[in-house]
A and B are shown apart, each in its own frame.
Chain A
Amino acid sequence: MRLDELQKGQTGVVKALHITGPNRRRLMDLGILPGTHIEVEMKSPLGDPVAYRVRGAVIALRQVQAREIEITLDVPSTEAAENVHS
């Protein structure tokens, strides 16, 4: 599935970035690369942009960007990902 389909309370793991050039680099510099755990932190009233929690920081992505990020949905668990910050 794609990141823009992730709902609040769900966690995913990045599988691939379907994006090239500087935008790909930017995502990676923000800590989004294959294997990264990612979680919906907050949705804006219109659902775009969405704030995601990535490696301990909150990062806002527009839907067009989130759509380029392929993820696999994490099996729900009571253990809260790898993040120390809540």
Chain B
Amino acid sequence: MSTRETTVNTHCQTCPAYQNAKLHRLGIDVSNFDYAIALAGNPNTGKSTLFNAMTGLRQHVGNWTGKTVARAEGAYNFNGKNYKVVDLPGTYSLLSTSQDEEIARDFILFGQPNATVVVVDATRLERNLNLTLQILEITDRVVVALNLIDEAERHGLQIDVRALSKQLGVPVVPMVARKGVGLEDLLGNIEAVITGQYVTRPHRVKHYDPRLEKAISQLATQLEDQFPGLPNTRWVALRLLDGDPSIEQAVREGTLGELSGVGRSDEVLMLQTA
């Protein structure tokens, strides 16, 4: 299944989005990537559809039967840079994860992607912003893909994309992933966020209580000693204070962040969960 250097035209010659493409889909060849991108979002928002549009792969897309249960990887080239894309299972939250969702949570938290694309369902925006805001708490390299715009329009919904982007402090790109609409715009924004051309100002809740602040710092320092190089130790500390059992267990067993390694060479296309 060598799809390397397949030009996008083989897939959709009539789609205007692909005509002047700076995009080359690289399929499963993730050998020499410059940047790693994570696709996160609630279940069934079109992450795998978007992943396929970016990479040229055919990761299974579906309503319930085809849902992503493990992460899949692919790649594309845009403006001369190679991007590895990681398609994650859908999750409602980084805080109260089911077992399926832990793969996504661990990658978003500890995988250190260069950018995280949060794929949101434009017809269920309120629900989808829960995860979006949680992700904005831990990283400022975020682009929101406002997907299913066609469905939203069908239901008479209009979204003020500029206002949303301003409030979230990150780019918001309206998309119809199934038709490739908005794809170039998304890739351009990913590039801009990674290179710093677009300076994000992620919306965050401020913790003012100095006692909480002190407890977080103390715990975070201990975590850094225990797990050298672990990203987002402040977030982990906050979870411990909150009594999150899955994080507690991972700390106790020393497995925190284990699933995450972005650059490991032994990656396979589908990492099945046991």
Contact = CB atoms under 8 A, between A and B. Distances in A.
B is bound to A:
yes
Interface of A: 21-22, 25-26, 29-31, 55-57, 84-85
A61 B245 CA distance: 21
Contacts of A85: 123-124, 155
A84 B123 contact: yes
Contacts of A29: 92-93, 95-96, 130
Given A29-B95, A55-B127, A57-B127, 9 more contacts: A22-B245, A25-B96, A29-B130, A30-B92, A31-B126, A31-B130, A56-B123, A56-B127, A85-B155
Contacts of A31: 92, 126-127, 130
A56 B128 CA distance: 10
B96 A84 contact: no
B249 to A, nearest CB: 12
B155 to A, nearest CB: 5
A31 B123 CA distance: 15
Interface of B: 92-93, 95-96, 123-124, 126-127, 130, 155-157, 242-245
Contacts of B242: 25
Give 10 nearest A-B pairs by CB, closest first: A29-B93, A26-B96, A56-B124, A25-B96, A55-B127, A84-B155, A29-B92, A29-B96, A31-B127, A25-B95
A31 B129 CA distance: 10
A23 B155 CA distance: 33
B124 A55 contact: yes
5 contacts: A22-B245, A26-B96, A56-B126, A57-B124, A57-B127
A26 B127 CA distance: 13
Nearest to A23: B96
Nearest to B121: A56
A85 B126 CA distance: 14
Nearest to A24: B96
Nearest to B152: A84
Contacts of B126: 31, 55-56
